[in-house]
Amino acid sequence: MRKLIVLSISLTLSLALAVSSYAIKWENKSLETGGEAPPTATSDSAVKNYNECFKKEILEDPKINTTPKLLLKLNASIWNSDFQINPALLEPKSEYEFYYDIYYLGGLTRVSTDIYNEIMLNATQGDIRGAFDEAYVSNAIGTDVGFLVKLNDISNLGAIFSYKNNLLKGDGSFKYEWSYPATFSGDVESSFRSKADSNTYGISLLYNVDLTDYLSLGAGFKYAYTLEKSVNDATGYGVATGPGGEFPENVSTDREMTFKYHLFAPTLGVSVYPTDFLILNSSVTGNIYTGRVEKKASLFADHWSNVAPGNFPSNTYEENLNSGRIKGYEISANLKPEYKINDIVSILAVADYFQRDIEWKIDGMGVGYFAPFNYPEIFYGDGTVEYQGKQRQWEIESGAGVKLSLDGFDLRGNALYTHYNLYSAYYHENVVDDGLAMGSGFNSFTRRMEEEMDIMSLTFGVGKEFTPELTADLSIRYDLGWGEMSLYEANHSPYISGDPSTITYVRVSDTDSYQDLTLATSMTITPMSRLSLVFGGMVTMPLSSLNYNLKGYSTGGSDFGGSGFPYSYDGDSARGYNSRGWNYGGSLRIRFEF
């Protein structure tokens, strides 16, 4: 249910491997030196080469180059948006975050173009209400074209036009057992295939001004429009055993959904330089989402057709086009001070806050039909269904680290660098998913899943410039996390309990811990002063997975274990629906400057 590990490429002359929550949130500071003075080289050619090599970012004196590093954060999130099949997948499957740093350009108008390709693979296995096996591959290609104009001696104005296509494919299987108390029991096996193809178009405006020699202000605004088409096919088969023998069940669904949503993202960044040795960078970013969804689905169900007619009929159902809405917001704020003790040692710190509140609503899901999981469950009734969902999330990060900078020169007098980072952080996060289905067929079905996590991480990074044309980075991160998960489900339905006034429910919870190891690397090649190539890659290995053995109490009804029976979920069910699995990523980004 959590965000997958993400490969974040920061390319205005640097690479920051920043990965959300469970991956590398530490921006690789080996290429972000944060206001260091230029080297004390006696060779004019060495200093000229050092300053012109555009991947150096803010190596000049901060009083000369005072634009905030973190001027605008551009988020492009690709959603696996088939909410009815698995509401937990509202989380973006891929979220690429990259930062544009406007810097001093000698008074010239500059144009830069990025062309990139990013690939992520996530494979998860687990057991929550049944064993599942899922795999998703995300492939993104896009381009960003940026313009920067120096308005006067203290201010710059910039614009970025972006396009991105993301193709997400997934497949998996799902198995579980169920029983009606003292009547029927059986097992179900299902499989699914999904595909989401989205196109995002965006424009960003950026402005920065040096208010004083020690204070800079940056502001930006981004608008993006996303059109996504999502297709999901699911099939299920099961056999129930009860009075009278065995009863087969076959169910298949086909869904096609179209999402059209808008993103509005204001940003404010501030950089303060109290002394020549201290820099304080901070920013606040808001993402506002609003959009519509259209859905077309068909269902075939042959459910215990040899039972008494009228109770469990075999039916074929074709659904017309229906619509719904998506809305919500995200807000993030951070403070990143850096203090340079001397030419070699710097102390870095990070304080981050993130909050998300997104809800969705889909009307008219179908006559007597509700599918909260990849398995198309059936509730028989005679009315239309409205499904609503809401996700709330917040997380904090605090951390500190040390950076060692070992600068030198090659035989030609070119200034080279080597940086070492050691960074430790603490994260706390809370995620709550609420779902509600209402209809005259089965009255209502509600679900709330909540997880609270604490994570300690330790990251070691090294960045080295082998030549002015070749740099490389390596980050190794270890995560130790522990958390608590709870689940509440309630069904108010005469078709399960036989009594319209009865509510059947489940309450379960458990705690557990996990360990992860993440390796991330990059290489930047600069064959000429206006061209750079950046290759990136990462892999996350689960050393130990969360193993929520959810136990609790239930009352009544079919899938709820029977009236008065203890209830348990057993197995490796990390992150709710998605266990922690292997994650792989890679990217190539090409930048031209004119």
Q: Give the span between the Cα atoms of 421 and 29, in whole angstroms.
A: 7
Q: Give the span between the Cα atoms of 175 and 212, in whole angstroms.
A: 64
Ranges of the chain whose pLDDT falls below 70? 1-132, 174, 176-186, 188, 240, 242-245, 247-249, 251, 297-322, 363-387, 410-411, 413, 437-445, 491-505, 547-581, 594
* Predicted pLDDT at 426: 94
In this structure, which amino acid lies at residue 412? R
Burial degree of 7 (CB within 10 A; 0-12, 13-18, 19+): buried
- Residue 105's contacts (CB-CB under 8 Å, 6 or more residues apart) are 148, 150
- Token pair listed for 101: 């740093």
DSSP SS3 for 312: coil
Q: Give the span between the Cα atoms of 17 and 29, in whole angstroms.
A: 9
* Predicted pLDDT at 378: 38
Q: Give the span between the Cα atoms of 438 and 447, in whole angstroms.
A: 12
**pLDDT digit string, tens, across residues 58-91:** 223 232 232 222 222 222 222 222 222 222 222 3
What is the per-residue burial (b if ≥16 Cβ within 10 Å, else e) of 574-590? bbbbbbbbebbbebbbe
Q: What are phi and psi of 137, to 5 degrees?
A: -125, 130
* Predicted pLDDT at 571: 33
Comparing CA positions, the residue from 296, 299, 304, 295 lying closest to residue 317 is 299
Name the residue with tokens 């993440």.
518
- E strand or H helix that includes residue 235: strand 215-242
* Predicted pLDDT at 291: 87
* Predicted pLDDT at 377: 38
- Token pair listed for 501: 């006034």
The whole-model pTM stands at: 0.71
Q: Give the span between the Cα atoms of 308 and 292, in whole angstroms.
A: 42
